[in-house]
Structure 1
Amino acid sequence: MFVESAINPGRAVPSPFAVQPDSLHALFSKLPAENLSAGKILFLEGDAATSVFEVLEGSLRIFRILGDGRRVITGFLNAGDILGLSFRSHYIYTAEAITPVTVRRLSRKVFEAEVANSAELRPVVFNQMSDEMAAAQDQMVLLSTKNAEERLCSFLLKELQRALKAGAVQPLVHLAMTRLDIADYLGLTIETVSRTMTKLSSKGVISTSGRHSVKVLKRGLLAQLAGDGDECEDGWRPAVAHGERLRH
């Protein structure tokens, strides 16, 4: 996501909350949940950016449609993500549910008032938007410098890291999105994604279970193929001098 801050930290606005929240998620905790079925739009590119959202369950894709009709997916959102921090007057992409999704919606005016009045929330929002900027820069590097295999390995590694951070005990990645979604996110064709998945399976790096689950068998080798040699939890470390794999 691209970052455009509309927050004015110096503005003093009365808080509608009896007790001022000390985290972004606390802002949403009293709000009603909204449900979207798979394929439903949360908001469209160009809509007035009047709300900020917390994703409670499910996965969404965010994308833009180019002038020639091509779809470019710029990211995926999952439970725990906050959506809509970085806009000014209008949303710059479309958010669509991949799976059944549950969200909470907060008025952008209320959100900005809370952040303006909270010394605790301002650095949290700043860090969140800094993370969004870093993610956007990482995506630009991935698309501009990496080949098809490196792109897919980087994507799988990122999804594995997210799963482990969420508490997964096995190196199993559930991919809610379709392979076409992955292709549109990585700037590849669906045929290239499928062919590269097969190639990684034949190398013993991953094993696939259906179209939506991938087990990472060699995390260090996956990181090496992605160009991220610092990942070596499964015992492999790329050698500095000769590009060979060493045990440690």
Structure 2
Amino acid sequence: MIVATALPSLPGHHPILAGAPPVQSLHGLFAGQPLEAFEGGSAIFWQGDRSRHVFEVLQGVLRLFRILPDGRRIIVGFIQASDLLGLAPDERYPYTAEAVNEIRLRRLDRRRFRELTEASPALSRQFVASLCEELAVAQDQMMLLARRGAEERVCSFLLRQAQRAAQGSEPASSVPLPMSRMDIADHLGLTIETVSRTITNLTQRGVIAPSGRHALAIRRPATLARLAGADDGPDTRRSGTGPAQQAAWPQ
């Protein structure tokens, strides 16, 4: 059953009021907004819906997908905890956002979000930097699908997930993968058989290992990076200091 539930706000979160201290980050704009919960399989919004809100994801994973005219599903990306969703100024959402597992999020009216960001030079810079980062991620995905083979695609995906799960400079010992292998296949432009075969092969070679029902352990991170073609150093994009953000929002 698909359920969306409004939950009480978290302690210490208050609405933005006149005279309150200035908000320092885009995430701060969502303080005081109702906390909503969605079960796995729930749609937050559908492809083609009018773009009315911007979302802050606090827990869980969302799949963003488009349905092509021939009925095929293309997963354009995954949204995880601490991500903002719906930043692009599109009149309508270009994809469906569907919960992979239990989701908790907050939403803010798009017009209110725009008013608040435009009123603050610091928030405006962060907003532009986030849009640049979204574009850079989309370009990386296009290059991945256009220029790399199946093993490189799967390894690149696992490497990105490992970087997301890392705590500071400490590598993640276990990488959560709540999405299904069909989801991964639809994201990487592969068949589910190819994804399964590649993961099995990496496991047999000792690069990765099962770690619970929805996780993998990265046993040989340097080998994984090499197989992914990551020869330009670690990707710092998710730490907020990626090239696109540095260009749009110098430190």
TM-score, normalized by the shorter chain, greater than 0.5:
yes
SS class of match (2:49): coil
Please give the secondary structure, in 2, of the residue aligned with 1:77: strand
User: 1:244 matched to which residue of 2?
Assistant: none
- Corresponding residue number in structure 1 for 2:132: 130
Structure 2 gaps of 5+ residues are 1-15, 235-251
Q: Does residue 1:88 correspond to 2:107, yes or no?
A: no
Residue 76 (structure 2) aligns with = 74
SS of structure 2 residue aligned to 1:49:
coil
- Cα gap change, 1:220 to 1:175, in 2 (>3 Å): same
Task: Give TM-score, length-normalised by structure 1.
Answer: 0.84
Q: What is the aligned partner in structure 1 of residue 120 from structure 2? A: 118
Alignment of 1:1-248 (within 5 A): 17-19=18-20, 20-165=22-167, 170-231=172-233
- One-letter identity of the residue aligned with 1:147: G
Shift of 1:203: 1.2
**Percent identical:** 47
Secondary structure at 1:120's aligned position in 2?
Answer: helix
Cα distance change, pair 71–86 in 1 and its aligned pair in 2 (3 A): same
Between the aligned partners of 2:107 and 2:169, the Cα distance in structure 1 is: 26
- SS of equivalent to 2:106: strand
Contact 2:163–2:171 (Cα < 8 Å) also in 1: no
Instruction: Give, in angstroms, the shift of residue 208 of structure 1.
Output: 1.7
Report the RMSD for the aligned CA atoms in angstroms: 1.7
Secondary structure of residue in 2 paired with 1:224: helix
Question: In 2, Cα distance between the equivalents of 1:17 and 1:130?
Answer: 30
Is contact 1:220-1:229 (8 Å) kept?
Answer: no
Tell me the SS of whatever aligns to 2:37: strand
Distance 1:145 1:85, change over 3 A: same
Greater displacement, 181-190 / 164-173:
164-173
* Cα pair distance change 1:17/1:167, threshold 3 Å: farther
Q: What secondary structure sits across from 1:92 in the alignment?
A: coil
The answer on whether the counterparts of 1:223 and 1:231 sit within 8 Å (CA) in structure 2 is no
User: Structure 2 vs 1, CA of residues 17 and 177 (structure 1 numbering), >3 Å: closer, same or farther?
Assistant: farther
Distance of 2:119 and 2:64 partners within structure 1 = 30
Q: How far apart, in 1, do the equivalents of 2:18 and 2:91 lie?
A: 25
Q: CA deviation at 1:230?
A: 4.4
Q: CA deviation at 1:210?
A: 5.0
Q: Offset at 1:29?
A: 1.0
Residue 165 (structure 1) shift: 4.2
| SS of equivalent residue, structure 1 residue 91 | coil
Structure 1 residues 116-141: Cα deviation after superposition (integer angstroms, max 9, x where no partner)? 11011011011111110110000000
One-letter code aligned to 2:76: T
| Partner of residue 8, structure 2 | none
Which has more radius of gyration?
1
How far 1:149 moved relative to its partner? 0.1
- Structure 1 runs of 4+ aligned residues shifted over 3 Å read 15-18, 165-170
Deviates more, 1:54-63 or 1:17-26: 17-26
Q: Which residue of 2 aligns with 1:4?
A: none
Counterpart residue type for residue 67 of structure 1: P
Q: Structure 1 residues 17 and 200 mapped into 2: Cα distance closer, same or farther (>3 Å)? A: farther
Determine the C-alpha separation between the residues in 2 that align with 1:76 and 1:87: 19
Provide the TM-score with structure 2 as the length reference: 0.83
Q: What 5-or-longer segments of structure 1 have no aligned partner?
A: 1-14, 233-248
State the number of aligned residues.
218
